[in-house]
Copies of this chain bind each other. A is one copy, B any other.
């Protein structure tokens, strides 16, 4: 089930995958931010023995206590600087808006050769921030392990959250190939599939396949009226499940990826406009062709 998938689109900044699979074991993994993603990463890293020691930090004391109690980390620190001190790999797992400040804080504590990544859902801004704010002597590569759920927080963390899902690495020209390789190995060790693409390619595609569908699902809910929702069947429940995601997280994501999101929203609005015309004119033939085409496309998803 474990496989590395390389994007087929030409992506000039990418180096070919290393031919050797030698990976230095991680002694200490520091996870900053212990919500659903950070907590699950700790649980998975410990369960899969990906790191000898997992140290965590979260800005809320209650979260830190719960993470320790749930054994999502071996040890906990009260400041992010302390957590990254002795780490050879650091994962930033806070909301994207908190990442630049966090980078500034930990920068002085990062030693030469430390591997650093973030797990944010949008990549252009955080990758740019990392290039500006992290010391040159660390090995940074942005990443987006595509996993999550409607309910966030450490209480929802699961050891299998990442299992079988896709992790996207978003290197840029200045990214050290070792960072790409080692983070690929890291995500593969968590049971994920991995892909690489440029931050701008990532943000454009993810706007289409994740950010836009999220907001459209919320719009379906917002359109409901006069107790129609009380007749919800499995179809409605599936189609709108993502609308229960953390509103604050999603507001940040959509605004951070505004240009791509608005483009995707424009495309789905155009599709709906087309359907409106077909139904208005009773053009069953074209409506059927449209439904068939989209059913076929959707079936191509593995």
- Say if the beta carbon of A225 comes within 8 Å of chain B: yes
Verify B269–A265 contact, CB threshold 8 A. Answer: no
Contact assessment for B284 and A255 in the assembled complex, using a CB-CB cutoff below 8 Å: yes
Contacting residues of chain A (190-225) with chain B, CB-CB under 8 angstroms: 195, 204-206, 208-210, 212-225
Given the known interface contacts A247-B291, A280-B262, the answer about A210 and B229 at a Cβ–Cβ threshold of 8 Å is no
Q: Which of A88-115 contact B (CB under 8 A)?
A: none
Q: Is the CB of A208 within 8 A of B228?
A: yes
| Interface assignment of A131: CB less than 8 Å from any CB of chain B | no
A301 adjacent to B254 (CB under 8 Å): no
A229 to B206, CA, bound (A): 9
Instruction: Check A287 for interface membership: any CB of B closer than 8 A.
Output: yes
Check A243–B280 contact: CB distance below 8 A.
no
Q: What residues of B have a CB within 8 angstroms of the CB of A275 in the complex?
A: 215, 219, 265
Inter-subunit contact B268/A166 (CB<8 Å): no
Stretch at the interface among A25-33, A43-51, A76-84, A234-242: A234-242
Whether B299 pairs with A244 at a CB distance below 8 angstroms is yes
Q: Would you list which residues of chain A between 273 and 295 have a CB under 8 Å from chain B? A: 273, 275-276, 279-280, 282, 284, 287-288, 290-295
A208–B233 CA distance with the chains assembled, in angstroms: 12
Q: How many copies altogether?
A: 2
Q: Is the interface of A mostly helix, strand, loop or mixed?
A: helix
Q: Name the residue on B nearest A217 (C-beta).
A: B239
With A275-B215, A275-B265 in contact, do A209 and B222 touch (Cβ < 8 Å)? no
Most B CB contacts (10 A, CB to CB) among A238, A252, A270, A272 go to A272
Q: 11 new A-B pairs (CB below 8 Å) besides A218-B295, A248-B288? A: A165-B234, A210-B233, A210-B236, A213-B236, A218-B271, A219-B272, A221-B294, A229-B297, A239-B240, A255-B282, A258-B279
Q: Contact residues of A with B, CB < 8 Å?
A: 9, 146-148, 165-166, 168, 195, 204-206, 208-210, 212-229, 231-245, 247-248, 250-252, 254-255, 258, 261-262, 264-265, 267-273, 275-276, 279-280, 282, 284, 287-288, 290-295, 297-301
